[in-house]
Chain A
Amino acid sequence: MVASEQAQTGGYHGGVGAAISVDEVARQALEIVREISVEQLDALAGREPHLRIDNLNAGYGQMEILHGFNLRVSSGQSLCLIGPNGAGKSTVLHSIFGFTNIYSGSISTERDGKKIEITRLSSNEKLRSAGIAYILQDKSVFPGMTVEENLWLGAYLMNRKSAKQAADKIFDKYPRLAARRKHLARVLSGGERRLLEISRALVMDPQVLLVDEPSIGLEPRFIDAVFDILGELQHKEGKTIVMVEQNAKKGLEYSDIGYVLVSGKLALAGHAKDLLNDPDVGRLFLGG
């Protein structure tokens, strides 16, 4: 009764027919939490993971959001984090990029088969030397700058000459952007803006892309286009992708692995295809 009342006043979660309130999803999600071993996560990653998080406790200021979180994703793989609002999905990405307080645990990546510890690196170092880039959740292009200037800023940590070369490479890859090189970012369409956001993160040639809600605020016809771009980066260029997606169905369809996060803890993990068929996940996150 309470739940349906909230469903009328509060925001719906999921698609048509998902008459479960946000709070109810969170409550029921707690019930589906299963014990997940690190071995299971290793198995999902398949081989030696490229990015790993071990027993992470992290948050903002004194407020711990993630409790004992683990993650494994191998090179060229994509992982999608789903879960109720406020579960800490974005916080996982923030932690990998160095935007949170890390109380304990470790984050590591690998280069040439050797593990490198990146737990305490600043985000600049993550970007410059650990090959990790972050693509923000919402509108984040610089509206008053040209497409070209936006890309140059993506290479802010390089010197001017390399920055221009790196931007030119992006223009070669995406002629759609090249055509709008001198236009202000503010006049781009929603899809073009998302493409600019993604490619601005590619300028530093990162190996790992952290993508927060790629489909948010986009018209439906652009959503598949954005996932296609990400898919191409993963399959053609071997990028490792960790994404958060509120549109769980789309996110899982385009990913290899899915993690369900509830209240800062890993609740479920599996191959994305299996999660799509999981009755609990279907009921709570895929709209019935």
Chain B
Amino acid sequence: MEQVIGNISVLAAMPIFNLGLLIDGLLVGSIFALAAYGLALVWGVMNVKNLAQGDFIMIGGYITWTLGRMGIDPLLGVPVAMVVLWGIGWVLYRTVISKVITRDLFTSLLATFGIAIVIQQGLNLAFGPDTQSAHANLPTLSFAGGLITIATTRIVGFVLAILLAIAVILFMRKSRMGQAIRATAQDSRAARVLGIDTEKVYSFTFCLNAAICGAAGALVVMVWNVQPFLGTTYSIRLFVIVTAAGFGNLPGVIAAGFGMGVFEQFGGFVLGAEFQQALIVLLLLAVLAVRQLQQRRVRQAVQ
């Protein structure tokens, strides 16, 4: 407790520290926003809530880490992880997701939960339980006489995440496949009547999301670290973000992603890093409780 008060007084006494945390928060927030967008996409188009989202991110991280050990710059891990995850997404879609997509919510939750466990155990077998990170060969910048330090990797990660998000959003707006995906999300029956192959749309959407996770994972392993069982905390973060914003609300999802990054940085600084995960779970509970209250109000209004 004393320590918490001490940390808060540090922030109050040195505004420059707030700025540092804010910048860091936005940097990691951009990665959250990207992966949350992918989660919202699959949720909105296929009505599948992908509990393995964080584990896809871990795979992307391990791919990049492996490349790093082979002497390949982790930045190259971004495209490689995207391609590999696209392939993994395709196989998973064909073998599992396509079979549960028309079923109820519970079945698809169970299926993606199963996928998450298989990925975690697989990563544990392949890489062991240790935490790993990959370092791009980039310097750390310091400002304000060393009070603020920003790793260039984080800036590069930020820029890449933003560029990728813009690319995906443009793709969804302009390309014919993007239009077909949005049409299917809005009314799948009408889409089929116009000759849109909704099966192909679902498969593409799932693969696209997996690729987005691959990129996010490559960035995560550069600015942070990966560990076989860390995916779950990412999944929870992303569900908090998407639930808070509403899955149909794209600007909201992106804003909430940044918000999450900033919130975590300040929370972690004030409470200590060891409480950061507890904080995320608390946030999930809070968001779910608020949503529940909102829905109850709607239900009452309907009656």
Contacts and interface: CB of A to CB of B under 8 A. Distances in A.
B61 to A, nearest CB: 34
Interface in A148-207: 149, 152-154, 156-157, 160, 200
A134 B193 contact: yes
Interface stretch (B14-22, B176-184, B202-210): B176-184
A142 B195 contact: no
A212 B197 CA distance: 22
A110 to B, nearest CB: 22
B193 A142 contact: no
A124 interface: yes
Given A123-B195, A124-B195, A127-B195, A156 B180 contact: yes
Given A153-B196, A156-B195, A136 B190 contact: yes
Nearest to A144: B186
A136 B183 contact: no
Given A149-B179, A153-B183, 8 more contacts: A124-B195, A136-B193, A141-B190, A142-B182, A142-B187, A143-B186, A153-B179, A153-B196
Interface string A105-147: 0000000000000000001100110000010100011111100
A209 B196 CA distance: 18
A140 B176 contact: no
A16 to B, nearest CB: 29
Contacts of B194: 127, 153-154, 156-157, 200
B193 A140 contact: yes
- What 9 A-B pairs are tightest by C-beta distance, nearest first? A140-B190, A142-B186, A157-B195, A124-B195, A134-B193, A127-B195, A142-B183, A156-B194, A153-B183
Interface string A62-82: 000000000000000000000
A113 to B, nearest CB: 27
A144 B185 CA distance: 10
B192 interface: yes
Contacts of B186: 142-145
B187 to A, nearest CB: 6
A154 B191 CA distance: 9
Contacts of B183: 142, 145, 153
Contacts of A97: 193
A95 B25 CA distance: 56
Given A142-B186, A144-B186, A156 B192 contact: no
A165 to B, nearest CB: 15
Interface string B161-189: 00000000000000010011011001101
A157 B179 CA distance: 13
A152 B182 CA distance: 13
Interface residues of A, number: 21
B103 to A, nearest CB: 16
B33 to A, nearest CB: 21
Nearest to B190: A140
A156 B176 contact: yes
A152 B174 CA distance: 12
Contacts of A143: 186-187
A132 B276 CA distance: 59
A142 B180 CA distance: 11
A92 to B, nearest CB: 16
Question: Which of B180, B183, B191, B195 counts the most A-chain CB atoms under 10 A from its CB?
Answer: B195
A149 B182 CA distance: 11
Q: Which of B183, B191, B194 has the most chain A CB atoms inside 10 A of its CB?
A: B194
17 contacts: A123-B192, A123-B193, A124-B195, A127-B195, A128-B195, A136-B193, A142-B182, A142-B183, A142-B187, A143-B187, A144-B182, A145-B179, A152-B179, A153-B183, A156-B176, A156-B179, A157-B195
Contacts of A154: 194
Interface string B123-143: 000000000000000000000
Contacts of A145: 179, 182-183, 186
A124 to B, nearest CB: 5
A94 to B, nearest CB: 10
Contacts of A160: 176
Interface in B2-23: none
Contacts of B189: 136, 140
A195 B58 CA distance: 49
Most chain A beta-carbon contacts within 10 A, residue among B179, B183, B193:
B193
Interface in A202-218: none
Nearest to B185: A144
Nearest to B191: A153
Nearest to A203: B194
Nearest to A139: B187
Nearest to A143: B186
Contacts of B193: 97, 123, 134, 136, 140
B196 A156 contact: yes
A124 B186 CA distance: 20
Contacts of A149: 179
A263 B101 CA distance: 32
Contacts of A140: 187, 189-190, 193
Contacts of A152: 179
A157 B195 CA distance: 7
Nearest to B184: A142
A124 B196 CA distance: 8
